A and B are shown apart, each in its own frame.
Chain A
Amino acid sequence: MDGLKQGGFYLLRSHALCQLQDLGRFGVASLGLTEGGACDQQSAMLANMLLGNAAGAPLLEIGVGGVSLRAQADTYVALTGAQMPFLHNGKAVPRYCTIKIKSGDLIEIGYARAGLRCYLAVAGGFLVPTTLGSVSTVLREGIGGLNGQALADGDWLAVNPCDTLPLRSLPYQQQPHFRAVTQLDWLPAAQFDWFSEDAIHRLNQQLFRLTKQSDRMGCRLSGGKIKVKTPAQMYSEGICCGAIQISNDGQPMVMLNDHQTIGGYAKPGTVSRLSLNALAQCRPGSLVRFVQRDLQYIQAKAIRQRQWLAQLGAEWQHN
């Protein structure tokens, strides 16, 4: 058949924001390697779970949309995350749902109507060699994905064909929804004490807007200036995902998955992992509001979410 490979997908149309990801690369931050991984971890996990995959199976993170693929295998796919038109052989099909695919089928993902990043998973996951324990693409480091690059037109992604799989879907009301103003739960941490009451008050009260300089490294926000109380001498220290870094001009930057591993800017605290999933779906121009919480509140919310996912996984195993 016209020299096409079998047992995988061809990227017909791709771009720099279409990247292979999993849940991240760990254990190598001390060498300066960032964690990477899907920015909206929950959407990535749900895409995999719909197909019965391990939560961290390799999938595609597609920012903005505008990607098409040709299947060269019989298998199943699922799309989660941002609201993007999803077409199977030209016909609209639902997101958050298992879709059966035949070899030769065309899959098209249009541009996002709401949200920013969608996740396309395939039964069994894309078969890609790992680098340092993960397939996560980090463009700045030239690591992961296919040869450290984003996916390009003509790239080939191998899969194991899959004949039968239960058809699953996530009810609409359980899917994440996108709001006009995204609330970010944050935890006082790191250099919280370096900020005046007034500065923390501003952080909590003002609306901030995502700037165009936002990317997988971090979301740069603009709004009222947040000042450090005493500009103390600071030695660089490790940074974690979600850290709110205040730059010299007083604007916050929330670290996303490709953040630098160490830094010397003061940080009043850290956005919760659940709120980061929501932040990862905000586009430049979106409004966010910081809501200060304590550790107990944030951990309880995370536990409820993990329990919900575990319960969902268990239910899906039995149908």
Chain B
Amino acid sequence: MSNEPLLSIRLASEHALYLDIAREPSPAALAMLVQLEHQLKQHYGHHLRDVVPAYLSLLLIFEAESFAFEPLCRELKAICRRLLQQPPAELAGKKVELPVYYGKDSGPDLARVAALHQLSQKRLIELHHSTAYLVYAIGFAPGFAYLGFVPEQIYTPRLSTPRQQVHAGSVGIADRQTAVYPASSPGGWNIIGNCPLPLFDPTASPLMPVAVGDEVQFVPIERNEFIRLGGQLWTD
């Protein structure tokens, strides 16, 4: 990562813009992204209608009335310069443990993915849960967190034909990312296990256990424990 936190500012709409802060995703770039998100929310208050952090950029959506592009660019550049003069940001996100039952009755693609990489299922599972992942973005559906990055031995392309229905809680791999489906939906990720905990609940506070910048550690659990926690086995 360069020592220039701000690579560019791009227009996004008549009242929104993108701040680009890196060329490749990294823990350092993610730390900067999260720090900027918090600072800008504080700085602009209700003028900033929404902020979407993802991988390399922040999308800043302003109230239409308060969007003046040129002055905003100058101000954002100044804020970024000030940030650079401080010690580099460190990831201060939560560490969240998520239980996962890896099994053929929770992960319909477990055997195939293991065979693809010429690994035993045990080794595949070990590789998947021995890595701590960072939340690089949340999207696709409420609470769907993109986690990076899985060990190189288990990079796995998406299914050529997505499934009509992936069960809630499904833990999947797509290329070098992994994620948990918070709700049932169509999906093309390779499903190797299931997390029995709710990952998005509009009536809970907080709404979801993780945010962008947090660290997720998967913890393998047995089938009995999974069912005790309310997990649902995979049925087609």
A272 located at the interface, meaning its Cβ lies under 8 Å from any Cβ of chain B in the complex: yes
Q: Given the complex, which residues of B lie within 8 Å of A139, measured CB to CB?
A: none
Query: What string of 1s and 0s marks CB contacts (under 8 Å) between B53-78 and chain A?
Result: 11111110100110101000000000
Nearest CB of A to B226, in Å: 24
Contact with B along A267-278 (1 / 0, CB 8 A): 000101100000
Q: Does B132 contact A (CB under 8 A)?
A: no
Q: Tell me the smallest distance from the CB of B215 to a CB of chain A, in Å.
A: 17
Q: Is the CB of A30 within 8 A of B53?
A: yes
Partner of B12, one of A32, A238, A262, A263: A238
Interface window among B101-109, B113-121, B138-146, B155-163: B138-146
- Contact (Cβ within 8 A) B65 A306: yes
Residue of A32, A140, A187 near B138 (CB, 8 A) is A32
Query: Are B54 and A141 in contact (CB-based, < 8 A)?
Result: no
| Interface membership of A175, Cβ < 8 A | no
16 A/B residue pairs, CB under 8 Å, sorted by A:
A30-B50, A30-B52, A30-B138, A31-B142, A31-B200, A131-B202, A132-B207, A189-B12, A190-B12, A235-B56, A236-B55, A237-B54, A237-B56, A237-B59, A238-B59, A299-B14
A134 to chain B, nearest CB (A): 11
Q: Is the CB of A187 within 8 A of B14?
A: yes
B window 37-57: CB within 8 A of A: 37, 49-57
Q: A141-B141, A143-B142, A241-B13 are in contact. Are A132 and B202 (CB under 8 A)?
A: yes
Given the known inter-chain contacts A238-B52, A270-B13, please indicate yes or no for A190 contacting B18, CB distance below 8 A: yes
Instruction: State the A residues within 8 Å of B (CB).
Output: 26-33, 35, 131-132, 140-143, 187-190, 235-243, 260-263, 270, 272-273, 295, 298-299, 302, 306
Residues from chain A with Cβ under 8 Å of B208 in the complex: 31
* B212 in the interface (beta carbon within 8 A): yes
Chain B residues near A131: list those with CB within 8 A: 202
> How many angstroms from the CA of A270 to the CA of B61 in the assembled complex?
13
Given contacts A35-B50, A238-B58, contact A190 B10 (CB under 8 A): yes
Given contacts A30-B52, A273-B13, could you give 11 more A-B pairs where the C-beta distance is less than 8 Å?
Answer: A26-B49, A31-B207, A31-B211, A187-B11, A188-B11, A190-B18, A235-B25, A235-B57, A236-B54, A261-B52, A306-B64
Is the CB of B16 closer than 8 A to any CB of chain A?
A: yes
Residue among B14, B57, B59 with max Cβ neighbours from chain A (10 Å): B14
- Interface pair A240/B139, CB less than 8 Å apart: no
Shortest distance from the beta carbon of B141 to any chain A beta carbon, whole Å: 6
Interface centre among B13, B56, B183 (most CB of A within 10 A): B13
Q: How far is the CA of A299 from the CA of B72 in the complex (A)?
A: 15
What's the tally of chain B residues with a CB closer than 8 Å to chain A?
Answer: 42
Could you tell me the distance in whole angstroms from the C-beta of A285 to the nearest C-beta in chain B? 26
Q: Which residues of A contact B180 (CB under 8 A)?
A: none
Q: Which 4 A-B pairs have the closest CB atoms?
A: A238-B59, A238-B52, A262-B139, A235-B55
Q: Is the CB of A298 within 8 A of B14?
A: yes
Inter-chain contact A29/B14, CB cutoff 8 Å: no
Q: Tell me the smallest distance from the CB of A299 to a CB of chain B, in Å.
A: 6
Interface residues as binary, B200-236 with A (CB distance below 8 Å gives 1, 0 otherwise): 1010000110011000000000000000000000000
User: Do B55 and A32 have beta carbons less than 8 Å apart?
Assistant: no
Roughly how many angstroms separate A33 CA and B10 CA in the complex, as a whole number?
23
Query: Which A residue's beta carbon lies closest to that of B206?
Result: A31
Known: A29-B52, A190-B18. A260 touches B13 (CB 8 A): no
Inside 8 A of B202's CB, which chain A residues have their CB? 131-132, 143
How far apart are the CA atoms of A240 and B50 in the complex, in Å?
Answer: 10
Q: Give complex CA distance A28, B200 in Å.
A: 12
Nearest chain A CB to B112 CB, angstrom units: 25
